[in-house]
Structure 1
Amino acid sequence: MLFKDQVDFVRQHIKKNKLRVFMTVLAATMGCAFLIVLASIGFGIRDTMRKEILEDQAITEVEVYTNDGEELEISKISNVEYVDAIVQRTRIGAMAVSQLGDRSIEGATLLTNFVEEEKSNLKLSEGRMPTKDNEIVVGYQFAENLLTDEERKAMEQSTEEDAEPIGGFKESLIGKTVSMSLQSYESEEAFPETWDFTIVGITEKPAKDWLVDTNMLFDESWKDKFQEVYDANVEGENIDLFYSSTKIYTSSLEHVKTVTEELKEMGYSVYSVSEQLEQLDVFFMAFKIGLIFVGTIAVLIASIGIFNTMTMAVTERTREIGVLKAIGASPKLIQRLFLMESAWIGVIGTVLAVIISYAVSYLANWILPMVVGAALGEDEFQDLSMTFSLIPWQLVVVASIISIGVAMISGWRPARKATKIDVIQALRQEL
């Protein structure tokens, strides 16, 4: 029997039992669609979290920590392959009070090497990198927190429900000169020594809305001067005023893992995006396997319907099977005919399931943000780029293999039963 004749044979018998086959295909479709949609939730949440991680910090950044107070060997680290920049930021353990006219701000002061900062691709929303000792870069929210005494009192009296910010410096800070002095956390008065600095750059807006960047970045050459002034105004033994953190920047994200492993071999404690992503991938791998397992149960339930359909098909076609055997059809041919029918049910159900799954995924990503936003009373939530469902092609392939494979297995037993039908008894059966 030619392959075309085999296909016609299967098609004719499917047409005779349209309703029963339709219900079986529907069950297979629902099972496969449930598997894809359920697993797509894991892929969607993972994709959202990866985006959040990569937006929160530099993707080529590696934080390095020493053990037991040891000093970093910068020269040795700089020789590591793929290391583009080594940024050491030193935080001053004293309050910095900055004055611009009748406005002032109390904030954190960081000492850094601007040459290395530029190599690390420090992003500025406005201005340029400093080239002189008396030039500085300030944080994105520095201007809006530069307040007068009246504005500060009004802010203290305001409530969280007040939508509009109170006061702040409205003009551009680029080119403005601020007067800065240090103040001990134990004292209410600033030290008499003051320095004038020109603002030449403003950092980029933080990735998160709740982050407030009011830092002031100075050249590291000021370290000794600040320490000297602090020691002169604070009684007691000399206190180490500075707390340093070191971040290494690689040439690309793909080299972060290599650099991280080499730094670990050198005895340093490190943290990088690659390690966080690896931990995230391990967690969601287990999560997705669990979801696929639960979805596979739905496919197995649908397979019961396929098994019943194919068993009834064998029973109803006993005489036809006998005729096929009488004219010389081999057991393999008969088995193939019934397996083709069960495979047809699996393929059609899988194709419909994939189409439905993509439609459900699209609607979920469109509607759920609005529903959740309305339920929580937060309009901003609707604007978030959150992915509730994501269907990669790998998921479609795995789900298709599971669905069609289960359909073939469900039809295998009835197909084997058809090959064992006795020819004489089958021909004696009344139509």
Structure 2
Amino acid sequence: MQFKDQIDFVRQHIKKNKMRVFMTVLAATMGTAFLIVLASVGFGLHETIRDSILSNRKVTELEVYSSEMNQEKVDELKKRDHVKAVVYRQFVSAEQQVKLDDLTSYSRMTVTDFVEEGKANFALAEGRLPKTAEEVVVGSHFGQYLMSEEEMEGGAEVKGYEGDLIGKHISYQLLDIEGNSIGKELQLTIVGVGKKPAKDWDQDQNIYGDALIIPALEEIYFAEAEQDKDEQPLFYGNVSVHADQLENVKALSKGLKEDGYSVYSIADELEQLDVFFLALKAGLVFVGTIAILIASIGIFNTMTMAVTERTREIGVMKAIGADPKLIQRLFLMESAWIGVIGTVLAIVISYGVSVVSNSILPIIVSAALGEEDLGGMDVTFSIIPWQLVLIASTISIGVAMISGWRPARKATKIDVIQALRQEL
């Protein structure tokens, strides 16, 4: 029997039992769709949390801590293999005041090496990075925190500075703990504005100056504040090391830890997160598989009935010399057909449910929580990657084939004489 004839044989039987086959396909479809939709929730939440973690962080960045961090150690870090940049940001510990025209704010100064910042892709909304000690970059919210005297006293609504900041000159002043000025004012020029942070609640009103300004600040502070430079340093800082490639982050982190540094990497956090969600997704696939196994009972019953109803037909085929393997293949093809059709329909339905869920569920959850936008978080409730489709299809079609295997084997063992005696 040619393959075309085998397909016609299977199709004719399906036409004779449309309702029974339809209900069996429906059960297989529901089971497979349940598996895909359930597991897609795990993929959706995984992607949402990963995006949230990475939204304002660099995956190749390592935060390095040491109780005695200094420029010498920073220079040593730059010489390590697979290091793209070492950013040593130092923060002014004293109180500070900034003036622009008749507006004032208490924005804080961060000094850094902008050559290294450039290598690490310091994000600017406009302008450029500083090149001299008198040039600075301001945070994206710097202008909003500039206030007049009346606004600072609470007598008027804070409007901030709404004009273009690039090229503006600001006066920078150190203050003592009582709010009095220390030494002379420094005249600085704004040459760049930082990019707005990804998170809406993250406010950046800082001033970023080049490390070249450190001697001038220390001279002012320690000459006027009567502080000992070693006992009460003006700066405290942190170091972030940027690997050249993601593949080298783990090895670089391991080497730093072996040398006594405390290291935190977003890659380590993502690795732990991936392990957790891998277990979660495996569990959801397992639960979904149970639904397919329940549907397989219907396939088994359908194929058993098919063998029983076609006993005489099988007897005739065996009497004319049909190979038992051919008979077995015909019934396996029928069960596989049920599995394939059920899987295709389930995939289409699952994608539809996924789209609807991602459109409606955020609205429902927002209403339940009393928030308009889930606190600014972009939540994806369902994602169906091709890997999930492949896993679900393999399980669904595999279970369908296994369910039809036993009835197919039974068909090959039918006695020819008894089958021919059976009435149609």
TM-score calculated relative to the size of structure 2: 0.92
Tell me which amino acid in the other structure corresponds to 2:189.
T
C-alpha deviations, 1:103-130, integer Å up to 9, x for none? Answer: 2111322111122222222121122222
1:21 is matched with: 21
1:143 to partner: Cα distance: 0.6
Whether 1:356 and 2:349 are equivalent positions in the alignment is yes
1:162 is matched with: none
Report the aligned-residue RMSD.
Answer: 2.3
1:31-430, aligned counterparts within 5 Å? 31-66=31-66, 68-69=67-68, 71=70, 73-154=73-154, 166-184=158-176, 186-234=177-225, 237=228, 238-381=231-374, 385-430=378-423
Q: Is 29-38 or 45-54 further displaced after alignment?
A: 45-54
C-alpha deviations, 1:320-365, integer Å up to 9, x for none? Answer: 2222222222322222121111111101101111111112112222
Query: Does structure 1 conserve the Cα–Cα contact (< 8 Å) formed by 2:200 and 2:376?
Result: no
C-alpha deviations, 1:353-379, integer Å up to 9, x for none? Answer: 111111211222233333333444444
SS in 2 for 1:369: helix
C-alpha deviations, 1:148-195, integer Å up to 9, x for none? Answer: 12223448x9xxxxxxx73101112222222222224x4233324322
1:260 to partner: Cα distance: 2.9
C-alpha deviations, 1:278-313, integer Å up to 9, x for none? Answer: 122111111110111111011011001111111111
1:405 to partner: Cα distance: 0.4
C-alpha deviations, 1:68-113, integer Å up to 9, x for none? Answer: 5365633332222332221100111111111223321113221111
Partners in 2 of 1:236 and 1:141 — Cα distance? 32
Q: Is 49-58 or 84-93 further displaced after alignment?
A: 49-58
Partners in 1 of 2:220 and 2:158 — Cα distance? 34
Show structure 2 runs of 5+ residues with no match.
none
Q: Is 320-329 or 146-155 further displaced after alignment?
A: 146-155
Partners in 2 of 1:36 and 1:102 — Cα distance? 62
Query: Does structure 2 conserve the Cα–Cα contact (< 8 Å) formed by 1:95 and 1:107?
Result: no
Query: Does structure 1 conserve the Cα–Cα contact (< 8 Å) formed by 2:95 and 2:179?
Result: no
Q: Aligned residue pairs: how many? A: 421
Tell me which amino acid in the other structure corresponds to 1:172.
D
Show structure 1 runs of 5+ residues with no match.
158-164
Tell me which amino acid in the other structure corresponds to 2:330.
L
Partners in 1 of 2:69 and 2:84 — Cα distance? 23
Partners in 2 of 1:384 and 1:69 — Cα distance? 38
Tell me which amino acid in the other structure corresponds to 1:402.
I
Whether 1:10 and 2:10 are equivalent positions in the alignment is yes
Partners in 1 of 2:207 and 2:193 — Cα distance? 9
C-alpha deviations, 1:374-411, integer Å up to 9, x for none? Answer: 44444445986432211111111111110000001111
SS in 2 for 1:39: helix
Partners in 2 of 1:70 and 1:92 — Cα distance? 16
Query: Does structure 2 conserve the Cα–Cα contact (< 8 Å) formed by 1:370 and 1:382?
Result: no
Partners in 1 of 2:78 and 2:183 — Cα distance? 40
1:12 to partner: Cα distance: 1.2
1:213 to partner: Cα distance: 0.5
Partners in 2 of 1:236 and 1:152 — Cα distance? 30
Partners in 1 of 2:150 and 2:55 — Cα distance? 37
C-alpha deviations, 1:237-278, integer Å up to 9, x for none? Answer: 541222111112233444434433443344322222322221
Partners in 2 of 1:218 and 1:87 — Cα distance? 13
Tell me which amino acid in the other structure corresponds to 2:63.
E
1:211 to partner: Cα distance: 0.6
SS in 1 for 2:142: coil
1:161 is matched with: none
Tell me which amino acid in the other structure corresponds to 2:358.
N
1:16 to partner: Cα distance: 1.0
Partners in 2 of 1:232 and 1:402 — Cα distance? 76
1:160 is matched with: none
**Distance of aligned partners of 1:21 and 1:39 in 2 relative to their CA distance in 1, 3 Å threshold:** same
Partners in 2 of 1:166 and 1:106 — Cα distance? 14
Partners in 2 of 1:273 and 1:382 — Cα distance? 23
Tell me which amino acid in the other structure corresponds to 2:68.
G
Partners in 1 of 2:85 and 2:374 — Cα distance? 37
**Distance of aligned partners of 1:91 and 1:382 in 2 relative to their CA distance in 1, 3 Å threshold:** closer
1:223 to partner: Cα distance: 2.6
Tell me which amino acid in the other structure corresponds to 1:58.
K
**Identity of aligned pairs, percent?**
57
Tell me which amino acid in the other structure corresponds to 2:104.
S
**Distance of aligned partners of 1:409 and 1:270 in 2 relative to their CA distance in 1, 3 Å threshold:** same
Query: Does structure 2 conserve the Cα–Cα contact (< 8 Å) formed by 1:99 and 1:105?
Result: yes
TM-score calculated relative to the size of structure 1: 0.91
